Amino acid sequence: MDHHERSDPRLTPPGRGAGERAALILVLMISLICGAVAAGALWSNGAEADRELAAHRHQVRATTTGPAKDPPVAARYGSTPQAVAPAVWEQPENVRRSGTVHVPPRTPRGGTVTIWVDDTGTPARPPGSAADRALTSLSGGSVATASAGAIGAGALVLVRRRAEARRLAAWEREWERVEPVWSGRLRRGSPPGTDDD
């Protein structure tokens, strides 16, 4: 059989497309697993932090001693409008406290609101909710999935480029060996690789 009728099986590996698809599926699965693990860890850590915080947060009733005022723009937060008003309340040990608290807009003097306080009776943010934890977990899991996927895809691209470079180099070597015989530049009896033209 002549050189030009044979081909090196290494030049066109069988099932290369299937192998690439399998590698992509593997990267996708690893990315999803990383995202799920990250989301689970964030949920667990958030739940533990919320339990710890809840142990030191208490709800008390406060009575406003003045009308509600809109806070400065820098103090506004969330999607629900918040106003502030002076108020008095009793902390869990029945010690009377006073200060400025967040209240619904247009709360009149003498209105009562429920506020969260810490162990010292100082107004504090409430413990996180399950919805907040879910959002944090979902966001973190999505970032982990995307990061793992990007790293895996980058590695696959690098491996494919190197394999393609090796394949092209092997093709060039094969062509240098076959081309003189194929083109007829080689006389009978001349060893391959010599050019008599």
Distance CA 12, CA 167 (A): 8
Distance CA 154, CA 147 (A): 11
**Per-residue pLDDT of the chain in tens (197 residues, 90 and over written 9):** 444 444 444 444 444 677 788 888 888 899 999 999 999 999 999 888 888 888 888 888 998 998 888 765 545 555 566 788 899 998 767 788 888 888 888 888 998 999 888 888 888 888 888 888 888 899 999 999 999 999 988 888 898 899 889 989 888 888 888 877 777 766 555 555 555 54
Residues 6+ apart with CB under 8 A from 91: 58, 60, 97, 117, 120, 121
Instruction: Give the per-residue pLDDT at 3.
Output: 46
Instruction: Give the per-residue pLDDT at 193.
Output: 52
Instruction: Give the per-residue pLDDT at 186.
Output: 62
Instruction: Give the per-residue pLDDT at 88.
Output: 92
User: How far is Cα of residue 164 from the mean position of the Cα atoms in its chain?
Assistant: 31
Rounded to 5 degrees, φ, ψ at 184 are 85, 10
Helices (H), the chain: 16-54, 130-183
Distance CA 170, CA 175 (A): 9
- Written as six digits, the tokens of 13 are 């590996």
- Written as six digits, the tokens of 179 are 């081309």
Question: Does the pTM exceed 0.85?
Answer: no
Distance CA 43, CA 37 (A): 10
Instruction: Give the per-residue pLDDT at 9.
Output: 46
